[in-house]
Amino acid sequence: MRSQKLFLFDFDGVIVDGMKEYWHSSLLAFEKFLNSPDISINQNHYKHVSNTFIEMRPWVKYGWEMLIIVHQIIKREDPLNNENKSDFLNQYHQNCQKVLLDNSWVTEDLQKYLDEAREYQIDKSFDNWINLHNPFYEVIDFIEKIKKDNIKTGIITTKNKIFARKILEKLNIFPELIFGYESGTKVEIASKLSTEYEILGFIEDRKDTLIDMKKNTFTRHIPCYLADWGYLKNIDRNNLPNEIKLLKLKSLEELLAI
């Protein structure tokens, strides 16, 4: 009997805007743990997030991909910029694989170095690392309100669970469930949860993830909402499948009617 109600949330781009942290931690991963002959890190890189990186962030599914993008933006020869980034994005996955192959990198190592860069910052200056994240307070308020209605909260993120938990605790958010990339795909996690809970909704800013959710036999019944405030491609708001609803921050309160 699935009597307990649960609401699911993505983390990055839905609960917090971590753009500054992604850029900073990716740079630090190269500076401290992953030497590349094609790049040189200088302090000017840390001052401002690259506009090209911001534009390309919606294509990222896993954290290690951010290191690929940062590498291509700051490399010495033919770096990515707003003028030439479309060529890379047109065959995004193939180009990411090519960078991996050219540098003899494996995805697990890149993810490990990104995690180590975050651990380094947490140990050195936890508050500075936390301050690189900008919370969406409307979402935090919404989470607090559904908790009062005895609805449990679940966070599914492609970030390491440990890092997500540290940020959530600093924001005074204490979800009953947190799943990081080490727990499997979001569809797999939601599928397992649907056997135990009545899932009232899933808010996510990656359109393809929601489409996968609707294609899966065990998760297609879950109401899916595309976060309009998240890291969306320009085309994501167009031709949205009927079973996926575009959600704006100001419309969060309307979900309380469920």
Structural domains in the chain?
5-17+134-257 (3.40.50.1000), 19-130 (no CATH)
pLDDT value of position 254: 87
Which residue's entry shows tokens 């309160």? 253
pLDDT score, position 88: 97
* pLDDT lower than 50: segments of the chain: 1
The end-to-end CA distance of the chain, in Å, is 19
Residues 6+ apart with CB under 8 A from 215: none
CA 163-169-170 angle, to 5 degrees, is 95
The pLDDT value recorded for residue 44 is 87
So what's the pLDDT on residue 1?
45
171, 192 contact by CB (below 8 A): no
Q: How far apart are CA 111 and CA 116, in angstroms?
A: 9
pLDDT of residue 256: 79
